[in-house]
Structure 1
Amino acid sequence: MAALDSVLNDIDKDLDNALERLFAFLRIPSISTDQAYAPHCREAAAWLAADLTALGFETSVEETSLHPVVLAHKPKPGAPHVLFYGHYDVQPVDPLDLWETPPFEPRIATDAKGEKTIVARGASDDKGQVMTFVEACRAHLAMNAELPCAVTILIEGAEENGSQGLPEWVARNKDRLAADVVLVCDTSMWNPTTPAITSSLRGLAYFEVEVTCADRDLHSGFFGGAARNPIHVLSRILADLHDDDGKVTLPGFYDGVRERPPEVLEQWRGLDFTPETFLGPIGLSEPAGERGRLLIELVQSRPACDVNGIIGGYTGEGTKTVIAGKASAKVSFRLVDDQDPQKLAETFEAFVRARIPADCSVNVICYKGSRAISLPFDMPELETARAALQDEWGVPAVTVGAGGSIPIVGDFKRLLDRNTLLIGFGLDDDRIHSPNEKYDLRSFHKGTRSWARILSALGARRGH
């Protein structure tokens, strides 16, 4: 413990310098979705590579089909080996006029609760989170001249652009990414004082359905009642996707869906995750999913189907009495456990086609899907990390699922056959992807201390 105490003390004393380094990183406008910012993405990769090289990592900046990745190694023969993943790219800043200060001029602010926050684009997603891990490594190296584990760091530059090019790069470089476990810091705390480990991510299947009836838009006075209306056809298909109890009606849809262990459900019941606390702030009060399920199950461990958009007919100002020739909808499914996106695609298309009248046609477009990710509840590294987080925060770390998807985590499982611990220190009010993005100073400071503890704890597992 004496060695760890010195590392934690160094993190505390070096906080101002750590913020200066983070601010330098945040000043680089590394927006990955706009090619006009491609030079800045390359600048961010070079900045991070230089910082890691200065720490003694064997570092390289390597090309992908879009923006480069930063790969860094700090070997330690005979020790457990971790692979840390994050991203240096950020979201666009629009609408710019809603920012209180320029998005790439980071600053320390005080929020309405009196808490100090780091305000800048990328502060929480994901530069601030990446630097919690880098600063933890810096402190270990400063105090002990070595890390508790062998560490490989992989930081990409296109996460906000769908990680374009990264899966292919990972597939080509599997041998260089060998590790016992993957660590990801792109998630959130349960609340400002309770750490969380994300134990599952829902997968995704996304479709566009276009129904065509007549060969053009029709006058509803001449043809109303006689001509097939594609909006009616499409609406019936969409309505048929759920039954009266909120369950998805696709045949075999729930194949591969597992129930959570009783002890996990009991933990979730004690989290005060209620319609009032979760739905109330967005103006709703009643859960809309499967009846008889905990609200937290509906957004974390159960699959879901949603219509993300409907297009058809006249939607401009005033009236125009037409029957549309075409109508389309975008439909997504969040998947859990062992649900197969490819099997779902086949089932969904058959479901749609069975509801198309003989004189109409349909085109079903299937976009790339991703499988869900679940950690084994008895995974030793999971318990090691939970204990380390409790030591730092003074309360048990919550093990929860996440309703969203991080496809690269699935690629790590598929390509590297390794599980991923998702441990982040963001908060729900960090305004990621929005103007005035922030990262609590406490999250940055204690996040760094948390990673220092986790690295020490994982390094102590010599019998891995």
Structure 2
Amino acid sequence: MSDLDRVLAAVDADLDAAIARLFDFLRIPSISTDRAYAAECRRAGQWLVDDLAGLGLTATLNDTPGHPVVTARSEGGAGKRVLFYGHYDVQPVDPLNLWDNPPFEPTLIEGPNGAKRIVARGSSDDKGQVMTFVEACRAYLKVTGALPVDVTFLVEGEEESGSGNLPPFLAANKEGLKADIALVCDTSMWDRQTPAITISLRGLMHDEIVITCANRDLHSGYYGGAAANPLHVLSKIIASVHGADGHIAIPGFYDGVTEPPDAVKAQWASLGLTPESFLGPIGLTTPIGEAGRSLVEMTTSRPTFEVNGMWGGYIGEGGKTVIPSIATAKITCRLVAGQDPIHVRDAVRAFIRAQLPPDAKVEFLSGDGSPAVAVSHDNPNLARAAAALEGEWGTPAVTIGGGGSIPIVGHFKKTLDQDTLLIGFALDDDRIHSPNEKYDLTSFHKGIRSWVRVLAALAD
């Protein structure tokens, strides 16, 4: 047997013990957003430090102004080093009455499809996912005495409450955290049979637009038909942002945006994501994005302009016949690789100013943003990881973009100059952040085996 086969066999033989260790971890109520659980967060961090130290790694519980950060290092001299990131904190459990079992008393049950599942808060997000990587390292060290690549662990305790203390920690410890690539296990598979690697995350620009016309609210009978109405002005401007084909009409908005390779587009098209499957469950039928784009493109590789809230005048019960003096809208733009948030902000503001009629003034109250992050499609580490996942699941791994933002990935690029591969084994029905959160036993078991293969592939 090859070393890889021997390590995989060890994973299979040790599965019951691995589940027991995960259950010990899950029993710790490490709710980061509630200060009443600060000691439990520290206990969870220390539990992980002790477990990693038991593998022969140099492990440390590092204090921050908030919850501590766990770091650990292997020193095998393998030549390549990876940085593994996860988090040990969890979401609150409310509403408690909707849990079938106590949220911090993990149970192994049979789901509706006959698959066994681990039910507990944190089982999927993110303790179960973290332990897939830890158990892969455990199996390697047990069988071969060394890891195929050197590993640095970075596991924080504030992801569910904003990760406020992690960026300063990265900046203060960047020399010790440098690696060839970062690995994150906090994402999902495409479906139960198809592994996925998330290689891009959209950035964000948010702003608040305030349009003012008259110097006070006006009687709509006395001034109606003559005085400018800021709600009309704002609505007209917002309506002009998108053309009939869904394209964003703001000059300069798409500057820097590039097209994914044709092979990647073909892979996305083969996934069979349809309006019925994607929009149907939320009561919608028709995509409103750019014409000619697939749903995967619309939600991952194309930028957006969204109105998150708009108000002005009287919004209480009953009627009040006024022309308001002020109208406000909060907007966000999801950005893709190549876009500069400041450039997008300035383009949006110029577009709005250019459409102001006489007597209308505009003020902007925010304009903050963060860029998108992406791994090149020809990154050799991506190809190696994808091949390793296909070897475990028997299905080609999908390389996809994430529609949302995970700030830590941007910090890895900005502070450590590292690309990140997001490889997770969660499923869409894992109920993360909800009562009865679960993690399929297959996700846990094959997740461990997947990391064994990925570590071996990255060493080649």
Q: TM-score, normalised by structure 1?
A: 0.93
Q: Secondary structure, in 3 states, of the residue corresponding to 2:369?
A: coil
Letter in 2 for 1:255: D
After TM superposition, the structure 1 = structure 2 runs for residues 40-189 of structure 1, keeping only pairs within 5 Å, are 40-189=40-189
Deviation string for 1:271-320 (max 9, x for gaps)? 11111221122222211100111221111111111112223344444444
Name the structure 1 match of 2:446. 446
Q: CA separation in 2, counterparts of 1:107 and 1:331?
A: 43
Deviation at 1:79, TM superposition (A): 2.5
Q: CA separation in 2, counterparts of 1:358 and 1:46?
A: 64
Instruction: Say which is worse superposed, 315-324 or 394-403, in terms of deviation.
Output: 315-324
Deviation string for 1:247-285 (max 9, x for gaps)? 112221111111111111111121111112211222222
Letter in 1 for 2:304: A
The answer to whether structure 1 residue 301 and structure 2 residue 288 are counterparts is no
Instruction: Say which is worse superposed, 356-365 or 420-429, in terms of deviation.
Output: 356-365
Name the structure 2 match of 1:200. 200
The answer to whether structure 1 residue 282 and structure 2 residue 282 are counterparts is yes
The answer to whether structure 1 residue 411 and structure 2 residue 406 are counterparts is no
Q: Confirm or deny: 8 A CA contact 2:345 2:367 kept in the other structure.
A: no
The 3 A distance-change label for structure 1 pair 273 and 353 is: same
The answer to whether structure 1 residue 378 and structure 2 residue 378 are counterparts is yes
Equivalent pairs counted in the alignment come to 460
Q: CA separation in 1, counterparts of 2:426 and 2:406?
A: 16
Q: Secondary structure, in 3 states, of the residue corresponding to 2:365?
A: strand
Deviation at 1:213, TM superposition (A): 4.2
Q: CA separation in 2, counterparts of 1:169 and 1:358?
A: 50
The 3 A distance-change label for structure 1 pair 147 and 78 is: closer
Q: CA separation in 1, counterparts of 2:359 and 2:380?
A: 59
Q: Confirm or deny: 8 A CA contact 1:345 1:366 kept in the other structure.
A: no
Deviation at 1:178, TM superposition (A): 1.5
Q: CA separation in 2, counterparts of 1:39 and 1:228?
A: 58
Instruction: Say which is worse superposed, 20-29 or 152-161, in terms of deviation.
Output: 20-29
After TM superposition, the structure 1 = structure 2 runs for residues 217-296 of structure 1, keeping only pairs within 5 Å, are 217-296=217-296
Deviation at 1:421, TM superposition (A): 1.1
Name the structure 2 match of 1:15. 15
Q: Secondary structure, in 3 states, of the residue corresponding to 1:366?
A: coil
Deviation at 1:442, TM superposition (A): 0.6
Letter in 2 for 1:194: T
RMSD (CA atoms): 2.1
Segments of structure 2 that go 5 or more residues without pairing to the other structure are none
Q: Secondary structure, in 3 states, of the residue corresponding to 2:236?
A: helix
Q: Secondary structure, in 3 states, of the residue corresponding to 1:308?
A: strand
Q: CA separation in 2, counterparts of 1:219 and 1:101?
A: 59
Q: CA separation in 2, counterparts of 1:267 and 1:57?
A: 40
Letter in 2 for 1:342: I
The 3 A distance-change label for structure 1 pair 240 and 392 is: same
Deviation string for 1:90-116 (max 9, x for gaps)? 223333333333322222232221222
Deviation at 1:33, TM superposition (A): 2.7
Deviation at 1:227, TM superposition (A): 4.5
Deviation at 1:218, TM superposition (A): 4.9
Name the structure 2 match of 1:421. 421
Q: Confirm or deny: 8 A CA contact 1:87 1:157 kept in the other structure.
A: yes
After TM superposition, the structure 1 = structure 2 runs for residues 346-365 of structure 1, keeping only pairs within 5 Å, are 346-356=346-356, 359-365=359-365
Q: CA separation in 1, counterparts of 2:29 and 2:368?
A: 29
Q: CA separation in 1, counterparts of 2:62 and 2:354?
A: 48
Letter in 2 for 1:328: T
Instruction: Say which is worse superposed, 129-138 or 12-21, in terms of deviation.
Output: 12-21
Q: CA separation in 1, counterparts of 2:161 and 2:240?
A: 33
The 3 A distance-change label for structure 1 pair 96 and 8 is: same
Q: Confirm or deny: 8 A CA contact 2:46 2:61 kept in the other structure.
A: yes
Q: TM-score, normalised by structure 2?
A: 0.94
Deviation at 1:367, TM superposition (A): 5.7
The 3 A distance-change label for structure 1 pair 244 and 85 is: same
Letter in 1 for 2:52: L
Deviation at 1:226, TM superposition (A): 4.6
Deviation at 1:86, TM superposition (A): 0.9
Letter in 2 for 1:29: P
Q: Confirm or deny: 8 A CA contact 2:78 2:149 kept in the other structure.
A: no
Deviation string for 1:179-230 (max 9, x for gaps)? 1111111111111011111121111112222334455555544554454433
Instruction: Say which is worse superposed, 38-47 or 335-344, in terms of deviation.
Output: 38-47
Q: CA separation in 2, counterparts of 1:439 and 1:312?
A: 45
The 3 A distance-change label for structure 1 pair 91 and 227 is: farther
Q: CA separation in 2, counterparts of 1:223 and 1:91?
A: 52
Letter in 2 for 1:336: V
The 3 A distance-change label for structure 1 pair 78 and 450 is: closer
Q: Confirm or deny: 8 A CA contact 1:219 1:321 kept in the other structure.
A: yes
Q: Confirm or deny: 8 A CA contact 1:27 1:106 kept in the other structure.
A: yes
Q: Confirm or deny: 8 A CA contact 1:65 1:164 kept in the other structure.
A: no
Deviation at 1:361, TM superposition (A): 4.3
